[in-house]
């Protein structure tokens, strides 16, 4: 089986790495917080002291880190993957970052004979733990096919969407869809409550019809019971929406719904709610309405 270097052991990365170990892949891990790497060492992973050393004996190097500058540092920095990875190896970045930065990194790696796939994921920590992530992959088709068995360990819906950067672009489409839909769920719940309808009954009545969505069925009930624990934090959602807005600006494309929900989430952040789950968006709507569910 291909030897894997795995960099980034946060909420998403740790369970994903666990699945690879369970499937029998030899994995070398690196994380800035060493305790997280040591926990996976107990499951059979080797540990490394830098991204470069994690890459040195790996045929596939997976990164899943917070934001574009972090990925650039891990892959191209002084102790980055590019200094350890061998020609013929593949870097799979599963973070959500800038499509243009992804294309630039792919070019730099190619100069060293290293292939790259951008393969951001959707499904949150629940999907990472269950191995049911949706994975959208950009890069060469033949490299995608070579790495498909690895993707199949981590996700259920795996789609090759085009060349370098296209995986990131489709992920940003995903984030536009989920965030604007989340806003619609908030408005519908508040409208039901204000009009005298039990929001839980409203969800029951609509979730299997034309208005069905993951946000309605999964986040709506959490809004009603005031469960704002993060499956996906507002701060991380805001990072993704910023990337989508930047890409839309580069394309000279108006995205008014996206801009609105980004501002509403900014209200959450101003209220100290940035580490809460994205379902806490309803709090911003409640403040605007001067009306709360509870």
**Which residues are marked as active site?**
171
Q: Which residue, among 250, 244, 220, has the nearest Cα to 97 in the 3D structure?
A: 244
263 burial class (0-12, 13-18, 19+ CB within 10 angstroms)? exposed
CA–CA gap between residue 92 and residue 114 (Å, rounded): 11
Specify whether the CB–CB gap between 142 and 165 falls below 8 A.
no
Close Cβ partners of 71 (under 8 Å, ≥ 6 residues apart): 63, 65, 93, 95, 97, 101, 105
Which H helix or E strand runs over 61? strand 60-63
Tell me the two tokens of residue 70: 């972090």
Specify whether the CB–CB gap between 180 and 258 falls below 8 A.
yes
């Amino acid at each position: 089986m291909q030897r894997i270097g795995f960099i980034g052991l946060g909420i998403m990365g740790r369970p994903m790495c666990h699945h690879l170990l369970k499937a029998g892949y030899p994995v070398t891990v690196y994380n800035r917080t060493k305790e997280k790497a040591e926990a996976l060492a107990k499951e059979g992973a080797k540990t490394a002291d830098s991204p470069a050393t994690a890459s040195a004996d790996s045929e596939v190097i997976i990164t899943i880190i917070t934001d574009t500058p972090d990925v650039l540092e891990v892959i191209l920095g002084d102790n980055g993957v590019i200094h350890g990875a061998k020609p013929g190896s593949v870097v799979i970045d599963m973070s959500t970052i800038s499509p243009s930065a992804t294309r630039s990194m792919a070019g730099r790696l190619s100069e060293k004979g290293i292939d790259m796939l951008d393969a951001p994921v959707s499904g949150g920590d629940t999907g990472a733990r269950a191995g049911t992530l949706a994975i959208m992959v950009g890069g060469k088709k033949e490299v995608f096919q070579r790495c498909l068995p690895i993707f199949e360990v981590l996700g259920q819906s795996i789609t090759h969407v085009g060349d370098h950067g296209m995986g990131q672009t489709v992920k940003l489409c995903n984030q536009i869809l989920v965030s604007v839909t989340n806003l619609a769920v908030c408005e519908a719940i508040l409208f039901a409550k204000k009009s005298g309808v039990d929001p839980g009954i409203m969800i029951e009545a609509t979730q299997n019809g034309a208005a069905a969505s993951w946000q309605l069925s999964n986040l709506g009930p959490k809004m009603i019971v005031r469960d704002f624990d993060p499956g996906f934090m507002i701060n991380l959602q805001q990072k993704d929406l910023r990337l989508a807005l930047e890409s839309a600006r580069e394309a000279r494309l108006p995205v008014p719904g996206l801009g609105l929900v980004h501002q509403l989430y900014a209200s959450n952040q101003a209220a100290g709610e940035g580490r809460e789950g994205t379902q806490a968006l309803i709090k911003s709507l409640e403040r605007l309405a001067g009306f709360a569910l509870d």
